[in-house]
Chains A and B, each alone.
Chain A
Amino acid sequence: MTEFIQQLFNGLSLGSIYALIALGYTMIYGILRFINFAHGDVFMIGAFSGYYLGIVFAFSTSGGFTSLALAFLILIGAMAICSVLGLVIEKLAYKPLRKSPKLTILITAIGVSLFLEYTGQLVFGADPKSFPTLLENKPIVNLSGAVIGSNPLVVLITAAILMLVLRMIVMKTKIGTAMRAVSFNPTAASLMGININAVISFTFIIGSSLAGAAGILYGLNYPSIDPLMGILPGIKAFVAAVLGGIGNIPGAALGGMIIGIIETFVTGYISPTFRDAIAFGILILILLFKPTGLLGKKEVEKV
């Protein structure tokens, strides 16, 4: 039983990281109706931003930073870097193609993804780097005797806060309302005076900053990072977004948690070799039996 609780907790912690990435996929899909394949690599850039910021800040740690404040600063820094990156990708690669066939945009997204991965390999080096220990991982024993780490707990809490903030932005602010309007009907939204381009840029900024945060949280939990690390979490987060119903924000969060828990249980109880194949299995099943996802709505294709 205690092992079960530990696994469940680790699964939730991993799932919250997937959920943060999945939110970016699902928001961009909601607005532009295309899958940003490069999103997983934005996540990778987030982790590397944390790595280099950590090195830079490490020289000034004697200046009285508590390690929690330092970690917070690095988190914000990585989010800022990633949001700029997301904006640049959108402006340079996707915006000129807004009226092109979907296939063209899809191929471009794959190109952007490869570009980030291999430029990363060139700039950062291909070998794995160890992510700086931002916070000490203290074991916490709870009532049932299960031992959980403090870092996974920090990850879970941070992810939950970020998701709540996102929820506030989307539901309560003016730009959030505009995002929902564009997602619902872009033409009508632009007729109502909404600046579509601004909304798209904002969506990329928000989505990419969440991926950046996920990168830091990932580094906190699994401190080995490399330029190709974004591929698998990216695909798994995409599966999470599809599982929850692509375009649906609470769905992405739910899907991420489910994928994280399933993956942890498969690794723990069945075999770690099938860890990476399981996400694809889930994807295929969900697309066959409920392609709209758990919380998604059916869309009718108009002729």
Chain B
Amino acid sequence: MKNTKILFLISVVLIFGINLLSDYINSYYYQIIIYAGINIILATSLNLINGYAGQFSLGHAGFMAIGAYLSASISTYFAPSLLSIFGDAVIGKAIWFILVLFIGGVGASIVGVIVGVPSLRLKGDYLAITTLGFGEIIRVVIQNLDIIGASQGFRGIYVYDNGVKSLEMIPELSGITYKFYSIPQYTDFFWAFLVVAIIIFSITNLIRSTYGRGFIAVKDDEIAAEAMGINTTKFKVTAFVLGAFFAGVAGGLYSHFVQYINPEDFNFLRSIEIVVMVILGGMGSTIGVVFAAIILTILPELLRDVQQYRMIIYALLIIIMMLVRPQGLFGIKLQKKKKITPEQPPKATLKD
């Protein structure tokens, strides 16, 4: 475990160092790099649910939406008081940003519990379509919430001196001074990749721990795991909630980067995109999923000329992958129970 800690510290220092160079990067490339970071977080967090715990979820974009909207609305609606508490300095902004990201993540994970407890009693196809349903319900609810812009999207709020807060300018208050608080652009290379480092570090350590083996046991054979005394429901919900938390944080990073969010950013296709990253990388392989997330962020940019083929390519990628290499590029093979043949003696022998 010591090695991963050192590795983690080194990567944090590296991320900080690279961040200092970010001014020299072309802004178009910079944007792609940030998106890659956010996609890595989304894909690795979904990989915990779909890959390690084997619970196929199709609603990850919903959790991302909650994190994005929650953190963005706190950053705007409470902007005056947050400014007076934390000030305008770098440290103050950092605390502010950590705070809203954390709240976004917690909000998403609370919804994760609400969604997970009932739906994780289901398996396979049912779970997939139920999570898809929850993801859509979240989107429909946001689309009907006027306080965060409903289907118009959310950019920020106008705060008038008499205390009125509004999404649009109000003509009747034209005499009163106001200030527009947009969603602040706090996400930069450092924050995005700090979260990437944290999630990779914590998921790797979690899966290697005794506790984390429980997830894999649940995936491999639920009945056997239960017979061994593993509380399968608890493990499934834990994976789901952890995944939702990081998706919420990724949503917060996203909204604090693009500064404009719309319910349509978090539709079913977004969930599918994340699922494709996990499938391509290989369910249950963090490194594979990280690579897949990077590839699938860059690929659409390279395919800009043939944009209309993008989803077809994705679809074919999924089908061919499943037919030829269902375990993904780097994944652990999904397989049915192996039969132990009597000719083979057990390999491990006890010495003592």
A residues sitting closer than 8 Å to B (CB atoms) are: 34-35, 93, 96-97, 100-108, 110-115, 117-119, 121-122, 231, 235, 238, 242, 273-274, 276-277, 279-281, 283-284, 287-288, 291, 301, 303
* Distance in Å: Cβ of B231 to nearest Cβ of chain A: 18
Asked if B299 is at the interface (CB within 8 A of a chain A CB), the reply is no
8 interchain residue pairs of minimum CB distance = A111-B318, A280-B133, A115-B315, A114-B315, A118-B311, A111-B319, A35-B125, A108-B322
21 contacts between A and B (CB under 8 A): A34-B125, A103-B54, A103-B124, A106-B56, A106-B124, A106-B125, A106-B128, A108-B322, A115-B312, A115-B319, A117-B311, A118-B311, A122-B308, A235-B129, A276-B140, A284-B118, A284-B130, A284-B133, A287-B118, A287-B121, A287-B130
In chain B, what residue has the closest Cβ to A102?
B124
Asked if B279 is at the interface (CB within 8 A of a chain A CB), the reply is yes
Interface of chain B residues 297 through 321 with chain A (CB within 8 A): 308-309, 311-312, 314-319
Whether the Cβ atoms of A273 and B143 lie closer than 8 Å is yes
In chain A, what residue has the closest Cβ to B123?
A102
Interface of chain B residues 139 through 165 with chain A (CB within 8 A): 140-141, 143-144
* Distance in Å: Cβ of A259 to nearest Cβ of chain B: 13
Whether the Cβ atoms of A103 and B272 lie closer than 8 Å is no
Q: Which of B118, B125, B316 has the most CB of A within 10 A?
A: B125
Q: Which of B132, B223, B322, B334 has the most CB of A within 10 A?
A: B322
In chain B, what residue has the closest Cβ to A106?
B125
In chain A, what residue has the closest Cβ to B115?
A284
Asked if B11 is at the interface (CB within 8 A of a chain A CB), the reply is no
Docked pose: A96 CA to B141 CA in angstroms: 41
Where chain A touches its partner, the secondary structure class is: helix
Whether the Cβ atoms of A112 and B125 lie closer than 8 Å is no
Tell which of A102, A113, A274 touches B125, judged by Cβ atoms closer than 8 Å. A102
With a cutoff of 8 Å between Cβ atoms, the chain A residues found around residue B315 in the complex are 111-115, 118
* Distance in Å: Cβ of B227 to nearest Cβ of chain A: 9
With a cutoff of 8 Å between Cβ atoms, the chain B residues found around residue A117 in the complex are 311
Whether the Cβ atoms of A107 and B312 lie closer than 8 Å is no
Docked pose: A111 CA to B315 CA in angstroms: 5
Whether the Cβ atoms of B319 and A276 lie closer than 8 Å is no
* Distance in Å: Cβ of B342 to nearest Cβ of chain A: 20
Asked if B344 is at the interface (CB within 8 A of a chain A CB), the reply is no
Whether the Cβ atoms of B312 and A118 lie closer than 8 Å is yes
Whether the Cβ atoms of B122 and A287 lie closer than 8 Å is yes
* Distance in Å: Cβ of A127 to nearest Cβ of chain B: 13
Docked pose: A228 CA to B163 CA in angstroms: 45
* Distance in Å: Cβ of A283 to nearest Cβ of chain B: 6
Whether the Cβ atoms of B309 and A110 lie closer than 8 Å is no
Asked if B248 is at the interface (CB within 8 A of a chain A CB), the reply is no
In chain A, what residue has the closest Cβ to B133?
A280
Whether the Cβ atoms of B129 and A238 lie closer than 8 Å is yes
Asked if B119 is at the interface (CB within 8 A of a chain A CB), the reply is yes
* Distance in Å: Cβ of B112 to nearest Cβ of chain A: 15
Docked pose: A115 CA to B314 CA in angstroms: 8
* Distance in Å: Cβ of A267 to nearest Cβ of chain B: 14
* Distance in Å: Cβ of A90 to nearest Cβ of chain B: 13
Asked if B210 is at the interface (CB within 8 A of a chain A CB), the reply is no
With a cutoff of 8 Å between Cβ atoms, the chain B residues found around residue A283 in the complex are 129-130, 133
Whether the Cβ atoms of B334 and A101 lie closer than 8 Å is yes
* Distance in Å: Cβ of A246 to nearest Cβ of chain B: 9
In chain A, what residue has the closest Cβ to B117?
A288
Docked pose: A242 CA to B127 CA in angstroms: 13
In chain A, what residue has the closest Cβ to B337?
A303
Tell which of B121, B140, B311, B334 touches A274, judged by Cβ atoms closer than 8 Å. B140
Tell whether A103 pairs with B56 under 8 Å between CB atoms, given A111-B315, A284-B133: yes
Whether the Cβ atoms of A280 and B134 lie closer than 8 Å is yes
In chain B, what residue has the closest Cβ to A302?
B223
Whether the Cβ atoms of A103 and B311 lie closer than 8 Å is no
In chain A, what residue has the closest Cβ to B129?
A238
* Distance in Å: Cβ of A99 to nearest Cβ of chain B: 8
Whether the Cβ atoms of A114 and B318 lie closer than 8 Å is yes
Whether the Cβ atoms of A277 and B334 lie closer than 8 Å is no
Tell whether A273 pairs with B144 under 8 Å between CB atoms, given A35-B129, A118-B311: yes
Asked if B326 is at the interface (CB within 8 A of a chain A CB), the reply is yes
* Distance in Å: Cβ of B299 to nearest Cβ of chain A: 15
* Distance in Å: Cβ of B341 to nearest Cβ of chain A: 19
Tell whether A110 pairs with B272 under 8 Å between CB atoms, given A122-B308, A276-B136: yes
